[in-house]
Structure 1
Amino acid sequence: MARAPRRTPEPRRGRGASPRATRVRRQAPTVPLRERLAAAVPGVLASLVAVVLVAGVIWLPRVLDHYPIRKVGVDGVTDVRRQQQVQTALAALVRDANYFSAPLEDIYQRAAGLSWVSDVSVRRQWPDTVKLTITEREPVAVWNESVLVSRNGEPFQALKQYDLTGLPRLNGPDQRLEAVMGFYHSMSKLLREVGLGIERMEVNARLTARLTLDNQMQVVVDRENYVGKLRRFTRLYRGVLSSDSRGVARVDLRYADGIAVTWRDQKA
């Protein structure tokens, strides 16, 4: 009878015994120094920016306090009244401003809004000045005792800011300012040829003009061919009227072929 083969008994494992495992340590890859520095740069920069911002918030106001605006300089303004008006208009804008924060655009708008200002430029001047260069409107007449008229015919409110001595006084319908100014310039040019100037001109709705000249002579002329009629008068004035001992008080030019003369001294 054949025998079964004998099994080799397995060795006993002690309590808690476990099969041995072989541990293999993996070495972490080495990161080049350049890459580590590059990775650290954003964080460093962010920290620096934060430090700068905090320092700016703390110290910048103190630094700017050393550069307050102390002066508003104005060039191109010829009268102390207008100089004072500019200073008053801008005082609130520059009171708490410094050299760097001065609101130049607001200053420009405020100065340009003055009725007698034709043009203006604004700039900073180190270390404590805002400088304005202003071009003034040049008045040539007073219109209806309420506004001034500039050389280009524009009305503007500034009676208290100008010396009105020597300015002619023009009166007429409000809507006819352009026509009246046209008459004034044409008539003034013709009268200057004989040394006469216009002190006052009153124009009615039909555009008949009554002039008071600088020698107190009165002249009446209608709009119909007024240039030809004034030329006739200037020829007579140069040749006869200016030398007449009676003195001309008034001339009426509303005639097609002549003039009517009123003398100061009717008995001479």
Structure 2
Amino acid sequence: MSDKQLPRGATLVPPRREPLTRKLKFRVRIPAQVWVGLGIALLFVGAGVLVRQAYHTWPVKDVVVIGRLNVLHAEEIARQILWVRNESFFTLDVTRVQRQVAAMPLVSRVAVRKRWPDSVELLLYEELPVALWNDEQLLTATGRLSDIPPGFTTTGLMRLYGADPVKNESVKYFRRLQQALNDRGLTVNSMNVNAVQAVDATLSNGWVVRFGRKYFEERLQRLVALLGKLDANEVRQVDLRYGKGAAIRWQTTGVTG
């Protein structure tokens, strides 16, 4: 049928053509080693996240105080650093702990270490108090002045009084006098050193000793000699403020030079 014979209004449909390209289908095969490697990588990433979280949140649970303590109390030391229980075991600054504890009264030295899994351990050494300074501080056996720990009673301690400008000299005189008295079985009950370093002391045998402000060592030797010669029960006061000898005030009456 020619174009002239086509019905009116009809349109010629072009013949169907094959597409120039076809959709290609293929399958990618991933080796098992790749899946294993990917799984290991994810495992490490997850473990890293957990480790990082534990590093910052693993809590300190216990504070352990170790040492031969005669004056200080382990419970009180631990109570003053309870803030460490809010810290991470891994990030806790042991230097900060060491400085805080070392600054406490009568602490001579301290070593701080962490003990796995959740403890902080303090190895503590304390000072031995031997006298009370101006009723406010403690004089230790090493000659150091320390604050008075909470709850510590000063009853029975020797009393040492002195002006702040001569604090070091006062401690030196006290220690030297006590050292000289040890061989006689005596102690210093109290000592006063004024601003011009004049020294007065009361001994455990009841003697009141006046050294003055000069020649302390020489006068101390004279006192030691008198302790070996005089009956302690008969003497009330020994005045050594003389070039030679001493003035003695007896428990009865009279003064002998």
Q: Is TM > 0.5 for Structure 1 vs Structure 2?
A: yes
Q: Contact (CA 8 Å) 1:148, 1:159: kept in 2 or not?
A: no
Where structure 1 has 5 or more consecutive residues not aligned to the other structure, the ranges are 1-36
Q: Contact (CA 8 Å) 2:188, 2:203: kept in 1 or not?
A: yes
Where structure 2 has 5 or more consecutive residues not aligned to the other structure, the ranges are 1-30
Tell me: CA distance 1:113–1:231, structure 2 relative to 1, closer, same or farther (3 Å): closer
- Greater radius of gyration (CA): 1
2:244 corresponds to which of 254, 257, 266? 257
Q: Contact (CA 8 Å) 2:108, 2:125: kept in 1 or not?
A: yes
Say whether 1:118 aligns with 2:75.
Answer: no
Tell me: CA distance 1:122–1:241, structure 2 relative to 1, closer, same or farther (3 Å): same
> CA-to-partner distance for each residue in 1:55-93, whole Å, 9 max, x for gaps?
54358758998x753321111251475423321222111
Cα distance in 1, alignment partners of residues 154 and 77 from structure 2:
20
| 1:266 match | 253
> CA-to-partner distance for each residue in 1:126-182, whole Å, 9 max, x for gaps?
333221101223333221111122334332212435453443211111021111111
| 1:184 match | 174
Say whether 1:89 aligns with 2:62.
Answer: no
Which AA in structure 1 matches 2:112? V
Which AA in structure 1 matches 2:192? E
Cα distance in 2, alignment partners of residues 60 and 187 from structure 1:
61
Say whether 1:129 aligns with 2:116.
Answer: no
| 1:220 match | 210
Tell me: CA distance 1:210–1:122, structure 2 relative to 1, closer, same or farther (3 Å): same
Q: Contact (CA 8 Å) 1:69, 1:130: kept in 2 or not?
A: yes
What SS does structure 2 have at the residue aligned with 1:160?
coil
Cα distance in 2, alignment partners of residues 236 and 79 from structure 1:
36
Which AA in structure 2 matches 1:257? K
Identity, % of aligned positions: 27
Tell me: CA distance 1:255–1:138, structure 2 relative to 1, closer, same or farther (3 Å): same
TM-score normalised per structure 2? 0.71
